[in-house]
Chain A
Amino acid sequence: MSDRISLTIDGRQIEAEPGQTILEAAEEAGVYIPRLCWMKGLSAFGSCRVCTVRVNGRPQSACTQPAAPGMVVENDTQELRELRRSLIDMLFIEGNHFCMFCEKSGDCELQALAYRLGITAPQYPFMFPQRELDATHPEIFVDRNRCILCGRCVRASQELDGKHVFGFVGRGAGKKVAVNAESGLGGTDAAGDDEAVAACPTGSLLKKRVGFAVPVGQRRFDHQPIGSEIEQAQSEE
């Protein structure tokens, strides 16, 4: 434990182990840094940019930046809260997210972050893109309208399931998630219990026939904001 790293987040001193990222160190210290594409157990991706913090004044994604001695990290500032709202807004208007009809409502990290950041309506105009659905698989469906291109399914399939069910195709605004079969998800070796399906932060990958098994009102984010579990874990210690 001798080589523990000491750094500050929003003026508070915290400690990190060598190799830990800012996000991981913060989490251990009970400081929640909002994130979407990051997921425990998966390699860091750095695509959503929601975890952007200022490190010694420079913007960095907390999920990819290793903690280093003496770092001064800004996290919960007006500027960064606004930046994150802007990013979340972009993800909303880029796709077709209709929370009121979505099976994932209350369990959705995008929705939960919007609530936490106080978004009532996006500041940017909706794009209303035309996106494809894929219901070819007997147990899982893909609704790209709700996809935020976080790559959690891509990584989880490779890193946790030992498969290659998903991948990205296209570039720029035309980028989308594809599956490893021309005929659709049904042609792949995906299974309903794959970690890749559970990894989806939104309602883009869902198991069929269990959409409302947990009733609205009893879902993860129905009673407390996303990130509370991290903040509470610390205060209970």
Chain B
Amino acid sequence: MGATREEVVKVICQDYGNDRSRLLDIARDVREQLGCVDSPAVDCIAEVLSIPRVEIESLVSFYSFLYSEPQGQVQIRICNDVPDMMKGADRIASELEEELGIQVGETTPDGKFSLEYASCIGLSDQAPSALVNDLMVPRLGAGTARRGVQILKERGELKELDKLLIRDYGDGNNAHDLVRSACSNNIRKAGEVILAEMRRGAGLEKALAMSPVEVIREIKTSRLRGRGGAGFPTGMKWEFTRAADGDRRYLVCNADEGEPGTFKDRVILTERPDLLFEGMTIGGYAIGAEDGLVYLRAEYAYLREFLEHALAKRRELGLLGENVCGKEGFHFDIRIQMGAGAYICGEETALISSCEGLRGDPKNRPPFPAQHGYLGKPTSVNNVETLCCVARILQRGSGWFSAIGSPGSTGTKLLSISGDCMRPGVYEVPFGIRLSEVFAMCDAQDPMAAQVGGPSGKMVGEADFDRTICFDDLATGGSLMVFGRDRDVLEIASQFMQFFVHESCGYCTPCRVGNVLLKERLDKILGGHGQPTDLEYLQRLGESIKMASRCGLGQTSPNPVLSTLESFRSAYEERIRDADDVEESGFDLQSALSTAQTLTGRKSVHFED
């Protein structure tokens, strides 16, 4: 018969050199091969690696894609981000609940299917969508999800799901033999920086003809700022990393694209992987690193083989490995580190923790990653799009690059546009573009609001439609959701808050507790029990969370509430004015009694609705 659990775990650990810092990979593989990382498996790993079992439990319980209990052979994750909910993700969920006879969050008794919700999986422009094991299933129409499950139910063998579920592959490399995905790129507007054609080596050759310091100077002259959203100058980050003491340095690419409504990195990884790898190699050369890591979000696992293939090709061509491009003494290679489902890991220090085989808790700063990053060594963490810009800047020159965009925000930006518009998808636009121009481009007719920068960004209304997309005005990592007049901004804000409650790592008090409170009070208003004092409560609580939180997640998590309070205050005030009794406390007697009613098996006679 098959190998025992002990044997399986032993082999997996060996594959990773019994290295504790690869615990995330080990847990991922154990989950894949044994179905879950249950208590006996935890003991096995602890034994082989000689580490406390609680450290393994700690890791496994942190990530959404790791499980301590058996899951269905087919795991269906319905994306429930706001654009997906707008297109009926909840209807898909009830359809599947009915077909499978289970609720979201459960597994069928025969162990074949599990059903759950997932935070944004990166297909907001093709909503509603789902992730079935590693398979992306976009554009779920009425009945298609049910039919898909029926097909799977008829098959005894649940293998090669793609052949069963996918009829047509998407455009471009989505149809590549190693991708075979139904996703579309939806590239609506290709710019010169990221989505233009590229020749392998074009930027790298020029970089290697310069000294590393000159490369950094070139990037500084281009005034390139990080595309993840925070906009830190890339050249400066590299200078700090290069200058820091350490016998090894690392260049880490953040491909954990998790901000709801963002999917542009998925398109870059599908269509321009070489541009990214080239940017990473240039970065490695500039900071003096020999090792590059791509932290790839678990949702994009379907791209892994394709990316590995692109890396192998580059090694073959001498663009990676020893003496890159014949440059004596410059060695650089790239490894793909898979994530396991945690939005917080997009935060750079949490990402480093995750790479180190830990929970994705952010680290205390200082020390900053440039001094003390991955495995304690100087590390530069850069966004996918940023690194692509780097390759292009070296190819075409900093002067060319900085002439595009606006003075404080040079170059182009990829926007991931979703929601109420006729042409959702990826747009490469110069920085400084007005929101109204963006609406015209994506054919958004009479929009009421836009969420710029995802839940952690801002909800803006008509008064702000003339504002521009750039670091100094409306900053965005790429997410832009459009909302039409029939949408309820408070309902949207509540869904965003649910996202933050779900994704908070729980490390610090304000984020862990405050966001729950914020959502609770918002829902009270949504439920028609709002009081005038609730607005002040939301404002003060939101500001406290922002001020006291330890990392970027907490510091931006109240934004859905704070920005709607600012831009859509009347939406709150109407709700409160219409509340049945403004004097009531919001205390819900029926729900308070429900536990007791369930326990006693009786209904309270006095307080029926």
Contact = CB atoms under 8 A, between A and B. Distances in A.
B509 A48 contact: yes
Interface stretch (B303-311, B331-339, B442-450, B542-550): B542-550
Given A46-B550, A52-B548, A64-B364, A167 B58 contact: yes
Chain B binding surface, main DSSP class = helix
Given A86-B544, A94-B512, A175-B505, 9 more contacts: A87-B544, A125-B517, A167-B57, A169-B57, A169-B58, A171-B342, A171-B359, A173-B512, A179-B54
26 contacts: A44-B364, A47-B507, A47-B508, A49-B549, A50-B509, A66-B366, A83-B548, A87-B544, A91-B509, A93-B517, A94-B512, A149-B512, A164-B54, A167-B54, A167-B57, A169-B58, A171-B504, A171-B506, A172-B502, A172-B506, A173-B501, A173-B513, A174-B506, A178-B54, A180-B52, A182-B43
B61 A172 contact: no
A61 interface: yes
Interface in B5-35: none
A32 interface: no
A170 B512 CA distance: 12
Contacts of B217: none
Given A44-B364, A90-B510, A172 B504 contact: yes
A49 B364 contact: no
Given A170-B62, A178-B54, A182-B39, A59 B506 contact: no
Interface in A73-104: 82-83, 86-87, 90-91, 93-94
B548 A167 contact: no
B581 interface: no
A124 B501 CA distance: 17
A223 B185 CA distance: 68
Interface in B480-510: 501-510
Contacts of B516: 127, 173
B100 to A, nearest CB: 25
A83 B545 CA distance: 9
A164 B55 contact: yes
Given A83-B547, A87-B548, A48 B508 contact: yes
A166 B54 contact: yes
Interface residues of A, number: 42
Contacts of B503: 172
A170 B54 CA distance: 12
Contacts of A174: 506
B52 A167 contact: yes
A181 interface: yes
Given A167-B54, A168-B359, A173 B506 contact: yes
B423 interface: no
A59 B549 CA distance: 9
A10 to B, nearest CB: 18
Contacts of A66: 366
B352 to A, nearest CB: 16
B54 A90 contact: no
Given A91-B513, A124-B517, A170-B62, A46 B508 contact: yes
Contact of A125 (B58, B507, B514, B520): B520
A125 B518 CA distance: 11
B513 A90 contact: yes
B257 to A, nearest CB: 20
Most buried by B among A47, A124, A172, A182: A172
Most buried by B among A83, A86, A124: A86
A49 B514 CA distance: 12
A64 B364 CA distance: 7
B541 interface: yes
B288 to A, nearest CB: 26
B53 interface: yes
Contact of A178 (B57, B366, B501, B520): B57
B508 A49 contact: yes
Contact of A170 (B52, B53, B61): B61
Interface string A112-125: 00000000000011
A94 B510 CA distance: 11
Nearest to A164: B52
Contact of B548 (A59, A65, A180, A182): A59
A137 B300 CA distance: 45
A86 B514 CA distance: 9
Given A46-B508, A83-B544, A171 B550 contact: no
A134 B175 CA distance: 55
Given A66-B366, A178-B54, A180-B54, A47 B513 contact: no
Closest 10 CB pairs of A and B: A175-B506, A167-B54, A164-B52, A90-B513, A180-B54, A169-B61, A172-B504, A49-B548, A64-B364, A86-B544
